[in-house]
Amino acid sequence: MNRTASVFLVNVPELTPEANPHAPQAVRFLNPGVVAGEEERLFRPEGLPMSDAVVKAMMADFARLAKESRTAGELSAFAHSVREDFHAHTSFAAADAISAALDGQEREKRERELLAKAQTELCLAWSLEKSREELAGLQDAFGQQWSKFEQDLGLGEEESAEGEDDSLAGVMPDFVAGSQKPRACVLVDAALAFLPDGCGLYCSDASLLADWEEYGVEFAPGTAETGERFGLAGAFRQAVVPGHLLCLSRRPDPEKPWQAVEWLVIVPGGEVCR
53-84 pLDDT, tens digit each: 999 998 888 777 767 765 555 555 665 555 55
Residue 195 maps to a domain: yes
Residue 166 maps to a domain: no
Indicate the pLDDT class of residue 271, thresholds 50, 70 and 90.
very low
Residue 3 maps to a domain: no
Indicate the pLDDT class of residue 87, thresholds 50, 70 and 90.
low
Q: Is the CB of residue 245 less than 8 Å from the CB of residue 205?
A: no
Residue 146 maps to a domain: no
Residue 151 maps to a domain: no
pLDDT of residue 182: 79
Residue 108 maps to a domain: yes
Q: Quote the CA–CA distance of 201 and 102 in Å, as a whole number.
A: 39
Indicate the pLDDT class of residue 127, thresholds 50, 70 and 90.
confident
Q: Whole-structure pTM over 0.85, yes or no?
A: no
Where in the sequence is the domain holding 111, given as residue range(s)? 9-139+175-268
Residue 149 maps to a domain: no
Decide if pLDDT at 51 tops 60: yes
pLDDT of residue 70: 55
pLDDT of residue 101: 58
Decide if pLDDT at 163 tops 60: no
pLDDT in tens, 221-259: 999 999 999 999 889 999 999 999 999 999 999 999 999
Q: Please count the structural domains in the chain.
A: 1
Strand bridging mode 236-242 / 262-268: antiparallel
pLDDT in tens, 10-45: 999 999 999 999 999 999 999 999 998 778 899 999
Indicate the pLDDT class of residue 138, thresholds 50, 70 and 90.
low
Residue 160 maps to a domain: no
